[in-house]
Structures are given as structure tokens and as C-alpha cells.
Amino acid sequence: MSKNSLFAHLLRSPWWVSFAIAAVLALLARFILPENYAVYAFSFTIPFVIIGAMAAWQQRNTPSSAQVTSTLDAIAVMSWRDFSALIEQAYQRDGYQVTRTSGAADFTLVKAGRTSLLSCKRWKAANHGLEPLRELKAARQAQGAREAIYVAAGNVSDNARRFAVDHGIVLVQGPELARLLRLPKGRAKSA
């Protein structure tokens, strides 16, 4: 599917948008077309219903903007010890073997024989530039890891974002970070 196609846009949109389009098409078919053709016109709504269901399935665990904000607020006041423990627990919960390291990467993650390096010690920085990403890339090459992951609660500069994309570094921030940590609502508010 083309990245700019209607259905690709609908998959990235809230799930209810596709269902709304299907409902509008069904109403238009009912009121515009003769009754004997209207039944067939409803078949044009099927792709929108399917895309809506797919989008709802993909978005089922997506945290709301309020949950993202409360998670980011909670981790902003955490100590390194508490935050690193949360990160370690989150990846262990997802089936990774987690080992603490030092240097450019804070953790080595192993799952299904694949090694990843994770850097998160600068999670509180307001802005993230190129240097920590360059260090992580060099560490990944030196250790032969398949993947590099960089966790940031703050903003990542455009240059750093492009560098991450160009060098296959996964950026975990905002909604992805909230989904990874899965902080309980009470803990996110009280922390």
C-alpha cells in the first residue's frame, strides 16, 4: 500500500474516522440511489469498515495524550535508579534478557538471539542532539549489535532524528515510551 494512499492515511488516523466515512457513504447511498441499487452501494463501505477495524486493532494499546503527559511528568521527577529499573522491568516483561552496561549504552538486550543496545541515561535532557546518537552507533558497531535504541523524554533535534533514521537507531519517546513503561494511572500522577 502506498504511504500516501487514502487507506494508508486512514490506518494512521483515529479508528472512528473510517467508520464515520462508511456511515456517510451508506447514508448517501440510501438517499441518493434508487432503492434496488442502494443495497449494492453498501458494498462500497466494506473497505472503510475493514480499515476502521484494522486501525482500532492497531490503536487498542495506544496511550491517550493525557496518559503520555502524565507518564512523561512522572519520569521527569524520577531518579536514574528508579527510571532505569522501570526500563529494565519493561524490557524483561517484553521477553528480553537485560544486562546493565556502561558507556554509550546503558543496557544490552537479548531476545531470540538478537542483541540490541539501549541508551537512556540522558532521558531527562530537554533537547537531544547528535552526540549521544553517534556514541550509540559506534557502540553498536563495536559490539556487533543488530539494533540500537535511544530513549528520550525530551525533544530530539531534527538533525538527530535524521541521523537516527539514516543509521537505524530506534527512538523511543512520547507515546512509545508511555506504552513501553505502562505506568499505572495512580503511579504516574503521584510520582
Query: Counting beta carbons within 10 angstroms of the beta carbon of residue 60, is it exposed (0 to 12), middle (13 to 18) or buried (19 or more)?
Result: exposed
Task: Give the count of domains, the chain.
Answer: 2
Q: Where in the sequence is the domain holding 112, given as residue range(s)?
A: 65-190
The residue to which cell 532524528 is assigned? 161
Residues 10 and 102 in one domain: no
Whether the predicted model's global pTM rises above the 0.85 cut:
no
The answer to whether residues 39 and 73 belong to one domain is no
Residue 125, pLDDT score: 81
Residue 54 lies inside a defined structural domain of this protein: yes
Say yes or no: 54 and 84 in one domain. Answer: no
Low-confidence ranges of the chain (pLDDT < 70): 1, 184-191
User: Is there a single domain that holds both residue 151 and residue 117?
Assistant: yes
pLDDT score, position 132 = 92
